[in-house]
Amino acid sequence: MADQLDLLREHIKMLAGEVAFRSSSLKRMLEQVAINPDDCNLQVQIQKGLEKLLSTMQIHLRFDILTRDQERRQSSSTRATLVTSDFIV
């Protein structure tokens, strides 16, 4: 279970990096479109970039929730083991 949590945490870090990268790219494109508002190709790229950013953020949130749930389960399992061992002794 600890290995799964470590993998989930690493995946969350990777997704956070991807969110930061996509946010930065979107910011640059928005700056460019402010200079050239008639660039239809850039507007399409911005729309696609925004969709990818939102999708990545949703995945990041799901992994974060999953990790917290796994941590909570592991913590509950550890407490249950401690309580059980107190009764056995």
> In the numeric block, which tokens belong to residue 43?
């507007």
> In the numeric block, which tokens belong to residue 69?
């749930």
pLDDT score of 85: 60
Q: pLDDT tens-digit profile of 42-71?
A: 999 999 999 999 999 999 999 999 999 988
pTM for the model stands at 0.73
Rounded to an integer, the average pLDDT of 66-86 is: 76
> In the numeric block, which tokens belong to residue 36?
């050239």
- Please give the residue that has the higher pLDDT: either 47 or 83: 47
Using the predicted structure, report yes or no on whether residue 9 has a pLDDT greater than 60. Answer: yes
pLDDT score of 64: 92
Contact between residue 8 and residue 63 where contact means Cβ atoms under 8 Å apart: yes
